[in-house]
Structure 1
Amino acid sequence: MCETHPSPNPQMDTASLCTVEKRGRVHIITLTGGGEHRLGPALLSAIRSAVAAVQATPGAGALVIAAEGKYFSNGFDQAWARVAPRHLHASMEEAFRGLVADLLALPMPTVAAVTGHAAAAGCVLALAHDTVVMRASRGFLYMSEVDAGLKIVDFFAELLRQKVPDAVTRRDLLLRGDKMTAVEAVRRGIVDAAVDGGVDDVMTAAVQAAEALAAKGWKGEVVAEIRKSMWPALWPKVKDHGADSPARARL
């Protein structure tokens, strides 16, 4: 479901769900098309396959995840959930739990290039990266559950508790449903950089940040183990769903 392109400026097939591009030691996974990039089973499977392909590539030094169009991701695919048999509903949450585990266990630094709105699970996906670079002029972080009347998933809450340590900011995100711009998110310590300009400027900043991290030459296994140890309450909630978990290996 993801296409791999070795050149710096590949011709992307917008009919696919995502593409993988390599620029030196930096790999870029881009969610393609102008839609909302809703995180349903198909897209989650595609992203996880792309992450696994990057991990298996010799010399991969850092990963950037980005998206085309107005949205980074508008959360879970509620349209799919409305028509899918109820017994399949848990598969979407489990797949996303697995993607978070994959990112936490990935043996390289990760950067989210948030060029548009990141809502609910999309916001969680952005914050699951080591570094978040966000477009200053467009897009916001938004945890929509309180407005939508939905309970928050346990690992969402734990990830936000770890990544948003300020209690007032967590309250504003979760209990007030505030839509935070890049500038506000930087001020509150959630986002690392608010980049002026358009999509290309955000991508340039994200790739430069990833290149700087890749140039450190860190041992990937050490990066992964330190990351997991930094979030000791989050990792146990997701690890059994990750690509490297013993349970998945037996499937």
Structure 2
Amino acid sequence: MATGNLCAVERRGRVHVITLTGAGEHRLGPALFSAIRSAVAALRAAPGDGAGAGALVLAAEGKFFCNGYDLAWARAGPSPADRISAMRAAFRALLADLLALPMPTVAAVTGHAAGSGCALALAHDAVVMRASRGFLYMSEVDAGIKVAGFVGELLREKVPDAVARRDLLMEGRKMTAAEASRRGIVDAAVDGEVEDVVAAAVAVAEDLAARGWDGETVAEIRKVTWPALWSKVNDYGGEAPARPRL
């Protein structure tokens, strides 16, 4: 299944792989938000095969996993602040979709993950990162952009070490896979090319899917594991995938 020319979905055993396609930066704007949310919604609506919840892997082609918000799109309109607010609302909705998804989720960080792209990766249950290329980078302090409250909560929940969180948010440190793994921010650093990272993430996801867990139970446990984060992202006023309205 393909979602326009922005992402594609394939099935590998019990694992559904959503891939952000192309060699670009995979910046999060209205079209990409809509494509990812549509793909996630399709997985949620798909009938089960009786073997448990399955699992999701989110990956990307090219040197970038996701380079954050599409600021060029925001600045091209008559009201950039409104466009940035719209992107934040769409991102909050996407995070709510992932937290409520009735299956385990794994991010295959195949390249650079910056700003909201870094937060998107960390929103998954597990994170596998390419060792030879790419970094985690919360770029807001360097870009002069305020961090949304729900993103701050995500970082508090997913990066519990205060010093590591300071280095990411307050210093804008670009963390390699080796450092992020050592500091407990990602689960594994994988040598090799993009496909090697995806294969490793699929293996992690397949192991989780093999547990045969009930999907709705997985989603409810995720919500109570990170209750403050769920509370912040769930209050966005709608369930259906949609393009941000301006």
Same fold (TM over 0.5): yes
User: How far does residue 236 in structure 1 lie from its aligned partner after superposition?
Assistant: 1.1
In structure 2, give the amino acid aligned to 1:81: A
Root-mean-square deviation (CA), in Å? Answer: 1.6
Equivalent runs, 1:140-159 vs 2, <5 Å: 140-159=135-154
List per-residue Cα deviations over 1:204-237 (Å, max 9, x = no partner): 1000111110000001111001101111111111
Aligned counterpart for 2:112 among listed residues 100, 112, 117: 117
Equivalent runs, 1:212-251 vs 2, <5 Å: 212-241=207-236, 244=239
Contact 1:102–1:242 at 8 Å: present in 2 too? Answer: no
State the distance in 2 between where 1:48 and 1:39 align. 12
State the distance in 1 between where 2:24 and 2:230 align. 31
Gaps of 5+ in 1: 5-14
In structure 1, give the amino acid aligned to 2:229: L
In structure 2, give the amino acid aligned to 1:76: Y
Contact 1:102–1:243 at 8 Å: present in 2 too? Answer: no
Q: 1:243 to 1:21 in 2, by over 3 A?
A: farther
Identical amino acids, percent of aligned pairs: 72
Contact 1:101–1:242 at 8 Å: present in 2 too? Answer: no
Under a length normalisation based on structure 1, what TM-score does the superposition of the two structures give? Answer: 0.90
State the distance in 2 between where 1:100 and 1:243 align. 13
Instruction: Tell me whether 1:35 sits opposite 2:41 in the alignment.
Output: no
The residue number in structure 1 matching 2:172 is 177
In structure 1, give the amino acid aligned to 2:211: K
Instruction: Tell me whether 1:204 sits opposite 2:199 in the alignment.
Output: yes
> What secondary structure is seen at the aligned counterpart in 1 of 2:205?
helix
Gaps of 5+ in 2: none
In structure 1, give the amino acid aligned to 2:230: W
State the distance in 1 between where 2:87 and 2:142 align. 21
> What secondary structure is seen at the aligned counterpart in 2 of 1:20?
strand
In structure 1, give the amino acid aligned to 2:106: V
In structure 2, give the amino acid aligned to 1:225: E
In structure 2, give the amino acid aligned to 1:83: A
Instruction: Tell me whether 1:95 sits opposite 2:90 in the alignment.
Output: yes
User: How far does residue 56 in structure 1 lie from its aligned partner after superposition?
Assistant: 1.4
List per-residue Cα deviations over 1:53-92 (Å, max 9, x = no partner): 1111223500000000010000000000001242444221
> What secondary structure is seen at the aligned counterpart in 1 of 2:22?
coil
> What secondary structure is seen at the aligned counterpart in 2 of 1:225?
helix
The residue number in structure 1 matching 2:63 is 70
Contact 1:118–1:126 at 8 Å: present in 2 too? Answer: yes
Aligned counterpart for 1:189 among listed residues 162, 166, 184: 184
In structure 1, give the amino acid aligned to 2:75: R
State the distance in 1 between where 2:122 and 2:238 align. 20
**Deviating 4+ runs (over 6 angstroms):** none
User: How far does residue 240 in structure 1 lie from its aligned partner after superposition?
Assistant: 2.4
Number of equivalences: 235
Aligned counterpart for 1:130 among listed residues 109, 120, 125: 125
User: How far does residue 242 in structure 1 lie from its aligned partner after superposition?
Assistant: 7.4
> What secondary structure is seen at the aligned counterpart in 1 of 2:189?
strand
User: How far does residue 25 in structure 1 lie from its aligned partner after superposition?
Assistant: 1.3
The residue number in structure 1 matching 2:37 is 48
> What secondary structure is seen at the aligned counterpart in 2 of 1:132?
strand
